[in-house]
Chain A
């Protein structure tokens, strides 16, 4: 009866934690994440041997590494998803502070690994990209500020969060990492949208994208080259996009077969940014559609579950996390099919990369924590407000 009314099991003191977690977690999304991770390992088997060969490691060196990181990531995911929203908020804000400082000090202590953008800290055994960890923290922080703003006599949280966003975007653009900057901006925009942005402002913002884009195009060679490459009608077959397009064509419906693909040998980023091309070539359109469906399921299911959420903070933070997750996957795949200019964005859980997979796991763990079923006091609210 209680379950029917509240949509959940009431908490009792001394309840075992794991069964309770299992009963309230969004099991669909959880399985989707695990499935994604498995697909990532599978594709890593195909995509990373060329990299290993280039770096003189045994063929599956990177797969093993990814499996270890993945194991850590799964633990992080489960642990995070067990937390209460309040705990997530506290830890998220603390984490954000650390990541923010780390990002700020990148120009001093960071390294560019010869790729033209200073984005990483080299830790010896692994590299760390602070912007990956910053993203979930940023969402929590902004959601907290915005939720506080919606309280009577609350602080002007929206302004604060906007200033924060601009600071981060500026730092990311300096690296330059326009992909992450756009992602952060998008995340903030979505939260602002959900927290009740005036429609007129949204229209104005959408209209200002073009002039801003023109400005960046005129002032950044890095950015201009990629845009030019995108609008060039003839695909230069020796660019990453050219290889990716060919790989997708070669793959067709069912792929050329496991291990038969060619694209991974010519694409320098086959194991990260263009892993979807490897998937398309070796396993065909079928696997690509499955991957698409998984990302869509996680994103849309989370959004639907958040519709029922009554707590503004949880709603905002959950929306930000879900949308950032979904848009990152979308951008990655849209680049591979030339719907968007090349960005350098990883496919969450599937792309190789230690910090990427752990950061994604933390983000999705938070999301799962937010979308857990909990009493929403719907009935009492209906009785107390609308019943009158």
Chain B
């Protein structure tokens, strides 16, 4: 921009005055020029800006046109029809057993909802609906349909017959929303493992299915992850084994008048849980509500095999024995002094009956002598005992893939005293779940390597860290076999399958604390079969059993849990593909000198 020219340049004014002209004309001329120049500038600016406006309008209209075109080309979508927007259908992956049989799948169903503004005759609709669904109330429906709400859910899941009946009502205010519902075709089988599912966020066209417990919750993200492309979750469970286990356990529980029961069948090499039953159980298709009052352990939702922490008793003797053997403190034929009662810190340890003055180490286990195992535990002491139990996974929560498991921490003595060491050696003063017991037994009988319990099918499992030597493992298994052959678990013998194991009868601790019940026990039997080449560990635990066929009620594991295990092995071993074999002879001579 050029310098601003003065309106009255003195030189020109003076010149004009000399000539006698009016100097104001010069000023007027200059004002006119300046004015024109200004207009010129603003016109040039306006030209550019008008172009900008034009482009703006072209762009704006183009956007509307394109959007209009996109809309017009898109599929007309009825708000309720099952169109392409229902990508959520069949989204949750199935759950199958180790042989691919379905444990949980999805079923297409419909939810019923109402749009009161579109409803023609609310009173008739309400009356007709109550005929189809007797649990609805006519008055409540009319109130909903005539109220201010524009959208009302009526039923979350309806059957095809009900849907047809609602169709026949024929009111445009009633609509159906497609739903995917979770179906457990096997009902109560594996209920505690699967857990259950419910509807999460709900829309007209679909609803989320969310796992609420068990593997459904543990693997919720993976099951719902579209990236998995609906690949089924394969569990280690064997459905047919699970079915026969549950049947036998249910019968046994009734026969032994027990309040509850749990059974775990585990592969000793891989830690795969082939079957896990907890009774009483429930149907995951209609999962009951959690108890509001009383003990959670009384609810059928309670998984006794994983959540149930019990003082399991003599089944723990195996671990004390294993430790003493492995550390070379005793040999199977070492003579142990069992004179009793053994007094310690104002507490006396007694045996179930008098077994004489002394027993070999093997017979301490065979006869289940509390005094004997307490004496053995004195050899290694509390600190090493605790460390050893920790390597077996009996101190920490189990790592099994159940959402409930991680919160279950075994109860331990606050002060691991000498007395604690002795009582823990025979399974009192420490609590554990049947599942933990099964995996600890697997670790000591499988050749001595730690197993991690798992619910997922494993293809190849590298052996875990060594717990005890292979030799100790072998000796221990043979001892367990002797318990069945000539000890407390004689009912457990199943011809051809060389069952070994250890019984456990523990006084039941009061739920509210403060000592033990007089006449309530927990009976367990931890078995391993076949003893010459351990493949499986089977643990059965009964809550408050009492076998009443004799004159006095019998409450020892040998009378209650052991026969159940024997029946289970009889039924499931063939299903597991085990061939019954005559026991190889001559082994006893190598290992055992006594008897």
Contact = CB atoms under 8 A, between A and B. Distances in A.
Interface string A52-80: 00000000000000000000000000000
B68 A289 contact: yes
A288 B46 contact: no
B81 to A, nearest CB: 11
A150 B68 contact: no
Interface in B28-71: 31, 33-40, 42-43, 45-47, 49-51, 53-54, 57-58, 60-61, 63-65, 67-69, 71
A245 B58 contact: no
Contacts of A304: 50, 54
B79 interface: yes
Contacts of A319: 50, 53
B71 A300 contact: no
Interface stretch (A19-27, A117-125, A189-197, A220-228): A189-197
Interface residues of A, number: 50
Given A330-B60, A330-B61, A251 B72 contact: yes
User: Interface size class for chain B?
Assistant: 35 or more
B31 A252 contact: no
A326 B45 contact: no
Given A289-B68, A339-B67, A303 B61 contact: no
Given A249-B77, A292-B61, A306-B50, A280 B72 contact: yes
A330 B117 contact: no
A369 interface: no
Contact of B72 (A150, A152, A249, A310): A249
A196 B115 contact: no
A288 B70 CA distance: 13
A129 to B, nearest CB: 25
B67 A337 contact: yes
Given A249-B76, A303-B57, A307-B47, A150 B38 contact: yes
A339 B68 CA distance: 10
B74 interface: yes
Nearest to A300: B54
A146 to B, nearest CB: 11
9 contacts: A245-B71, A246-B77, A249-B75, A249-B77, A303-B53, A319-B50, A330-B60, A333-B68, A339-B64
B36 A381 contact: yes
A310 B35 CA distance: 13
A337 B42 contact: no
B73 interface: yes
Contact of A248 (B61, B71, B203): B71
Contacts of B51: 307
A208 interface: no
Contact of A303 (B31, B50, B79): B50
B486 interface: no
A296 B38 contact: no
A288 B65 CA distance: 8
B510 interface: no
B150 interface: yes
Contacts of A323: 53, 57
Interface of B: 31, 33-40, 42-43, 45-47, 49-51, 53-54, 57-58, 60-61, 63-65, 67-69, 71-77, 79, 115, 117-118, 150, 203-204
B208 to A, nearest CB: 15
A292 B64 contact: yes
Contacts of A352: none
Interface in A304-358: 304, 306-307, 310, 312, 315, 319, 323, 326, 330, 333-334, 337-339
Contacts of B60: 330, 334
A307 B72 contact: no
A337 B71 contact: yes
Contacts of B38: 150, 152
Given A251-B72, A381-B36, A296 B57 contact: yes
